[in-house]
Each structure stands twice: as structure tokens, then as C-alpha cells.
Amino acid sequence: MKTYLSPAKINLGLKILSRRSDGYHNLESIFLKLGWGDEIAFEDSASFELESENLLPDSRKEEFEKVSERGNPEKNLLFKTFLFCRELKPEIQGVRIHLKKRIPPGGGLGGGSSNAAILIRNFFRSEEFTEDFLKKVSGLGADIPFFLLDSHAYVTGIGEVLEPLEISSGYGILVFPDLNVSTGEAFQALKKPLQETGSLESCKSVPEDLLNLVRSGDWSGMDARIQNDFEPFVLGKFPDLALLKNEMLQSGLEFVSMTGTGSTFYGLVKEFGVLPGVISRLKSKFSKYQVIDFHF
């Protein structure tokens, strides 16, 4: 039984362009795939079975338990993805999934979508990932097509328009605060007016200056170039997160931002040697927050 990494992702910038008539939002972002995440393995089975190990921080354990085999696994995206795969390939009988859950739900890291993509790869070859197939997949979760790629990506549309990107390798940290941000409330709080329709013609390709920054790993230059549209609202509502970001910036990290609608923050550096001191400093000042390192 082979075990696969089900990687987390972070947003390098997150710009909300417009609201669509179907309730989704058009966005612009760079999705960076991390060398850290959940572990997932599969075995043949006559039905859908989920066996999970909940390795989440204590403040996040309960949310996953609700959709684990100890709660209602039929609400888990993995179960919905299994039904999707079996509908396209009726010969699929079942699958036993072994999951070590490390990516917190609702943290802007794409954990559920990443798990779903690994399951899809278990049943389908990459040659089958046609445009029509990916469109159907995005109905399960807008981030799933990204996780079916073998690369990072410049992302537009609702997350399904992908331009693969080469990004300089580097290191970083994730900080998981012990609080949750309501995605719905975060969208409602955006100060810019949202349109019912919006053209994406201006953002079909990654801007050249931004491309140069990510290819060279010039993380310190990113701060003046990109931002997460949700940060002003989140930092205003949760002063402790504003303190966290300020401490991260002073600790030696080259770029610091929130991913998704929060509340997870990350920091990037070129060299790993900076991180042990950063992690020690943050853990001493924010003892209730989980801090982990990653590479990409």
C-alpha cells in the first residue's frame, strides 16, 4: 500500500475581481503547492471506507471529526468525490482510504480539495484530465483542478483557469491561530464593489513583473506587488492576528501574508537556516498557535 502526500497550498496574493450570477467569485491569485500536508493511502474494497487519524491542533480537531468515520463521512468531500468517480466509471466498486489529517479545515490551505484530487488520481490517468473533465471536477470544489496539476499555478476564474508556473524553490512557515474566520462574512466585508459579471481578459496571463519575482525567489519584493484582499477585514476584526503578522515581519521572514480568507498566516524565505530562530520566537510569543515549517 503506497502512501501519497496530499499537499496544502497557499495563496500568493488573492484579488477578488467580481461576483458571478451563480454566487461564485472571479479571482486572481498564485497558488503555491507545499511539500507539507496530509498523508493518504488506498486499498481495494467492496464499498467506500474511511479510516482517519486526526493530527490537527486541538482547536481544529472537532471540525474534522464531524466529517470523519467517527461522524458523518458522507459529508466528507472524499465521499462525494468517490461517488463522482464511480458515476464516470461504474466499474469502480469501492475504496478503503487511510488518511492522516494535518491540514486544518477552513484555513485557506485547500486540504479537502487536495484529498479529493489524490483520490481522483487513484481512479483516472492524467491523460483523462480533459477540459470537460476538469469542468465537471470543479463542480465538486473549485480548487480541485489545481491539485490535479503537477506544478504551481497562476489562477483566475473561480479557481479553474490555470496557468502552470515555475517558482523558485524556498522555505516557509505556517501559523495556525486558534480562531476561525467566517468565509461568508469575509466576502461580505470586502470594501470594493463587486459586479454581477466581470471580464477576465486583463488577467489571462501572469504579469511579467510578478513572474520575474516568483521565478527569482525575490520574496521581499512581493510585499509591494501583491496583497490578499481579505487581510484588512481580518486584521481589523482580530487584533491578535495583526500582532502576529507584525511579529512575523520583524522575525526575519522575507514575505508574510494570510492565505485564503484566513486565519492561517505564512512567511517565506530563501534559506532554511532562518526558520528555527523564527519558529522559536513565534512559539514563545504565541504559545497557543501551532507553527510548522515547509518547503516548496
Backbone angles phi, psi at 189, to 5 degrees: -85, -5
Known catalytic residue at 100:
no
Q: Of residues 9, 33, 101, 245, which has the active-site annotation?
A: 9
Tell me, yes or no, if 143 is annotated catalytic. Answer: yes
Q: Which one from 38, 101, 143, 245 is the annotated catalytic residue?
A: 143
Catalogue the active-site residues.
Answer: 9, 143
